[in-house]
Amino acid sequence: MTHSSTSETSVCDLLLLDVCPLGLGIEDIHGNMHTLIRRNTVIPARTELYPIFTNAYAYQTTATIRIFEGEHNLTKYNILLGEFSLSDLTSNFAAQTLEIAIRMDIDANGILHVDAEEARSGAKASFTVGSNHQRLSKDDIERHITYVESDTNFAAKSVYDRKPNDPLYLLDGQITSVTRNFSGELITSFGQTTGAPRLIKLKNVQSTRTMIEELIKLQSEDGSFTLNKDLADILHINVDIFNGLEQYLREQGFNSLALNIQNEILRLIGTGVILLWLVLQMKDLQQTMCQFLFNIEQIKVYLCNHLPANMSEQISKAIEFYQQISQRNGIYCKQLELSDSSWDMFIQLSTQLYQKSINWDNRAQGQYTDAMAKADFGSVSGWKNDRASISDGKLRITLRKNALGGESGIISNTRIPDGSAYELDFDVRFHSQFDWSRGGKVGFGFGIGNRNTGCNPPKDGAGGTLRLMWYNDNKRVYFIPYVYYYGMPGQCGDKFGKSYPSTGMSSYS
């Protein structure tokens, strides 16, 4: 008898799938990684549009989308795949008012498509990362993962771990440079304005006792005033003036705020304008109005001293409303420049700018002494009479070569009032035989607080300086800013990488 044996073998199909070796995500303004496609995700893969990003700045017109591959929470330890910009964003006057959505789509060939959208404006942009970009080796990937897993704090944040109330992630971008005041006018050099003012007619409206009594009747229970037709009728002005202001605010992105915040800010503006208009009616202030700055405590004193006693309670309610709402909506008030000292611009008072100019045409030819300098500048230090003279209506200073500070030149000081913005304009010329040497500081500048300089940065934030400096690289001469400020990156003056003119100028021209 013959025996035979049979062996049965099972054959299994093996399916090989491509996966993402590392996570793919977007960088925020702080350099943090936010993963949209996680490591080991099977490809092809497509995410939803995640509306989890926002504008980092007020008046931001673009959002920079930087795409990274890696597992670390800091993008500097990951690989940059590319970047692009989302342009034409909705007008916004405050940070974190937009919702920017981003989606990632990686196809079977490893080609990554990134889409970004901002819903209100309809702005859209896309970017493609080809499959031929430089890849990490298997060993590099393993080392990267091992390093990230060595500390639980190293892992990148994933969109899948977000909670509903988590804040949106900030994206960097460009901001508009256009500045306007409350009258809706463009601000130009030295605060001069162009365009038709919106509220200028309020300044010329003269009050009567009946008018003020009717005005108080329009005051809301919470103490506020609303810029509407009823108010316009009492003041005998066209309501389009008020409507134009509201329209201007909306054009600047005001409608990106929640409705309750819009309403509060409009009533805040209305209350502030009425309070200031009432102050303008005080006859004894007419001659000193150019020096008057809107301060809510000053407003209370002036009005309570000049208006009938039975109105004091109503005025106090208006002031209390103003204080509470401006504090509660501080971030928006700051972006709209709703600060005390800016209300004067709101209704176009006589200019509040401090201006000082020095005209040496009035000085005789010859030596320019320290007494003359003190009269013109206010104060001087280390003035050298033999180095200063007047020539053809110009102040001529002779500098000593290879010397610092007052040993080389002359220092003068002029004290100016506190403000939120400053502008300085001067002409400087060099003699045709001037020895440029290595460089130096020239012209006028600003000193604030402790006036930090001399490689002593203001670490306590109590001072700073801004000056203009020339620098000679033995080929060309440049003018550069030289600034000391809180948080500056080095010990000595920050130049911000700027030079004027950008290509320099010949040392001999």
∠ Cα 231 236 238 (to 5°): 80
Which regions of 294-393 does DSSP assign to beta strands (E)?
366-367, 379-381, 388-391
Residue 180 backbone dihedrals phi, psi, to 5 degrees:
-130, 155
Calculate the alpha carbon distances from 65 to 35, 78, 334, 496 in Å.
13, 15, 27, 24
Which regions of 372-461 does DSSP assign to beta strands (E)?
379-381, 388-391, 394-397, 411-413, 439-441, 446-449
Per-residue pLDDT at 264: 86
pLDDT tens sequence across 393-420: 788 888 777 666 556 667 776 666 555 5
Q: How much of the chain, in percent, has pLDDT values that exceed 70?
A: 70
Residue 128 backbone dihedrals phi, psi, to 5 degrees:
-120, 130
In angstroms, rounded to a whole number, what is the distance separating the alpha carbons of residues 469 and 333? 36
Per-residue pLDDT at 115: 96
The amino acid that residue 203 corresponds to is K
pLDDT tens sequence across 92-128: 766 788 899 999 999 988 899 999 999 888 899 999 9
In angstroms, rounded to a whole number, what is the distance separating the alpha carbons of residues 405 and 120? 55
In angstroms, rounded to a whole number, what is the distance separating the alpha carbons of residues 350 and 424? 21
* Domains of the chain from N-terminus onward: 19-171 (2.60.34.10), 227-329 (no CATH), 366-484 (no CATH)
On whether the CB atoms of residues 202 and 239 are closer than 8 A, the answer is: no
CA-closest candidate to residue 95, choices 422, 277, 332 = 332
- pTM here? 0.41
Per-residue pLDDT at 405: 59
On whether the CB atoms of residues 287 and 243 are closer than 8 A, the answer is: no
CA-closest candidate to residue 123, choices 173, 171, 89 = 89
The amino acid that residue 284 corresponds to is D
Per-residue pLDDT at 112: 94
Q: Look at the chain and count its residues.
A: 509
Per-residue pLDDT at 197: 44
Question: How far does CA 64 lie from the centroid of its chain?
Answer: 17
On whether the CB atoms of residues 471 and 478 are closer than 8 A, the answer is: yes
How many C-alpha atoms does 174 have within 13 Å on its Cβ side? 11
Spell out, as residue ranges, where the chain has pLDDT lower than 70.
Answer: 1-17, 93-94, 176-204, 248-256, 280-298, 330-357, 378-382, 402-409, 413-423, 425, 438, 441, 443-444, 502-509
CA dihedral 370→376→379→385, nearest 10 degrees, is: -20
Per-residue pLDDT at 101: 96
Residue 251 backbone dihedrals phi, psi, to 5 degrees:
-65, -25
Per-residue pLDDT at 285: 47
On whether the CB atoms of residues 424 and 444 are closer than 8 A, the answer is: yes
